């Protein structure tokens, strides 16, 4: 449940800066149902927006100064507009840098930030932050950029702080619709809303946050991305979206062959999942989730012991399918569960974590929410 509210944000801003904010904006975190590490390969992915959001309260300045206060760190960053900060303030200041590079005249800004999106859980807390800031600043300047352009601005911002992200996270944050998933074709940027009414179909989706923190800027994400580029070059195609499963098996280097195999099979799994959801065939999605996790674990090698244990325990507890979600190397798994049986799944995962002496994971129920907006 989202505990961050507009009144609390406006009060946080006043407490931090001594005067009222102009307004407050919010953008959601996301969970990707399937289609992992396909976005930067021109493939398909199928995210849903979460109810958990990042909120920003904002007011413009005219002195060339940016100040950012975060309730999560209880610190305030102060610096010149256009500079990218170090540490936690890098993402919001990178958005301002990216907007300025697109020609937006920025005189200065005060920001207060709060969030209910778990950080480091693979639920796109960074895109929730960048998109909320970008939308707020854009609207306070009479919206010179479209939402499609804001997606590119936020991608540039994250790239600017060393996270070579694709466009999935920013697109779902800015284009989500309630009660739907968003089938995103990363080759041409087109989107299609896919019905995602879990309770009407008799299912629940649980996010299992392993509380193992990861960072997309730690080098592994970038390495996988460069390996995909190398695999595409070995096949003589512009991106792995253009390759077939049979072609992927012809890559001579065994590591690049495994990376290509994951991408081409994951794109097909995403296509099939969308087809099943259109027909309300939730019961058939579970196998695709299981196969996706195996591919991410074995071919793309971005899982970890905690994610593997969470997935296996969820299945034993009654989930019809489970998989890691997000960039990997920690973060979260998702489990598709018959309605009313989430307690058994949670208990199974908790027992297996406790038996290994690991911290208790966090669990979130998913309700597909809407896109970034002014509150």
Binned at pLDDT 50, 70 and 90, residue 219 comes out as confident
Query: Which of 169, 209, 290, 352 does the annotation list as catalytic?
Result: 169
> What does the pLDDT look like over 83-120, one tens digit per residue?
999 888 999 999 999 999 999 999 999 999 999 998 87
Q: Write the secondary structure of the chain as one string of H (helix), E (strand) and C (coil).
A: CCCCCHHHHHHHHHHHHCCCCCEEEEEEEEEECCCCCCHHHCCEECEEEEEEEEEEEEEECCCCEEEEEECCCCEEEEEECCCCCCHHHHHHHHHHHHHHHCCCCCCCEEEEEEECCCCCCCCCHHHHHHHHHHHHHHHHCCCCCCHHHHHHHHHHHHHHCCCCCCCHHHHHHHHCCCCEEEEEECCCCCEEEEECCHHHHCEEEEEEECCCCCCCCCCHHHHHHHHHHHHHHHHCCCCHHHCCHHHHCCCCCHHHHHHHHHHHHHHHHHHHHHHHHHCCCHHHHHHHHHHHHHHHHHCCCCCCHHHHHHHHHHHHCCCCEEEEECCCCCCEEEEEEECCCHHHHHHHHHHHHHHCCCCCCEEEECCCCCCCEEC
Catalytic: 299?
Answer: no
The pTM assigned to this predicted structure is: 0.90
Binned at pLDDT 50, 70 and 90, residue 218 comes out as low
The predicted model gives 226-235 an average pLDDT of 97
The pLDDT score that the predictor gives to residue 196 is 95
- For residue 275, pLDDT over 80 is answered with yes
Binned at pLDDT 50, 70 and 90, residue 215 comes out as low
- For residue 276, pLDDT over 70 is answered with yes
- For residue 2, pLDDT over 60 is answered with no
> What does the pLDDT look like over 136-169, one tens digit per residue?
999 999 999 999 999 999 999 998 887 767 789 9
The pLDDT score that the predictor gives to residue 217 is 46
């Amino acid at each position: 449940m989202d505990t961050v509210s507009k009144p609390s944000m406006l009060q946080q801003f006043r407490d931090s800066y001594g005067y009222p904010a102009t307004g407050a904006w919010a953008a959601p975190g996301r969970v990707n149902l399937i289609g992992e590490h396909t976005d930067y390969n021109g493939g398909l992915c199928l995210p849903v927006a979460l109810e958990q959001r990042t909120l920003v309260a904002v007011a413009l300045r005219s002195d060339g100064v940016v100040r950012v206060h975060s309730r999560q760190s209880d610190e305030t960053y102060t610096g010149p507009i256009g500079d990218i900060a170090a540490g936690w303030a890098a993402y919001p200041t990178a958005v301002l840098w990216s907007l300025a590079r697109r020609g937006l005249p920025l005189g200065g800004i005060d920001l207060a930030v709060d969030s209910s999106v778990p950080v480091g859980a693979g639920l796109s807390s960074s895109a929730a932050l960048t998109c909320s800031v970008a939308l707020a600043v854009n609207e306070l300047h009479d919206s010179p950029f479209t939402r499609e352009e804001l997606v590119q601005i936020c991608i540039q911002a994250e790239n600017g702080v060393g996270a070579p992200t694709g466009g999935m996270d920013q697109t779902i944050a800015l284009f989500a619709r309630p009660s739907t998933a968003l089938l995103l074709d990363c080759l041409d940027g087109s989107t299609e809303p896919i019905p995602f009414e879990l309770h009407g179909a008799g299912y629940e989706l649980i996010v299992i946050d392993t509380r193992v923190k990861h960072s997309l800027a730690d080098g592994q994400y970038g390495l996988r991305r460069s390996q995909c580029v190398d695999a595409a070059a070995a096949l003589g195609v512009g991106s792995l979206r253009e390759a077939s499963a049979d072609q992927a098996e012809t890559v001579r280097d065994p590591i690049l062959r495994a990376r290509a195999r994951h991408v081409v099979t994951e794109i097909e799994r995403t296509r099939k999942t969308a087809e099943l959801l259109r027909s309300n065939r939730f019961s058939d999605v579970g196998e695709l989730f299981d196969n996706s996790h195996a591919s991410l674990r074995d071919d793309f090698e971005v899982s970890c012991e905690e994610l593997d244990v969470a997935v296996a325990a969820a299945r034993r507890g009654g989930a019809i399918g489970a998989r890691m979600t997000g960039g990997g190397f920690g973060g979260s798994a998702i489990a598709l569960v018959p309605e009313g049986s989430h307690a058994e799944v949670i208990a199974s995962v908790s027992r297996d974590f406790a038996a290994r002496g690991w911290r208790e994971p966090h669990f979130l129920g998913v309700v597909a929410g809407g896109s970034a907006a002014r509150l």
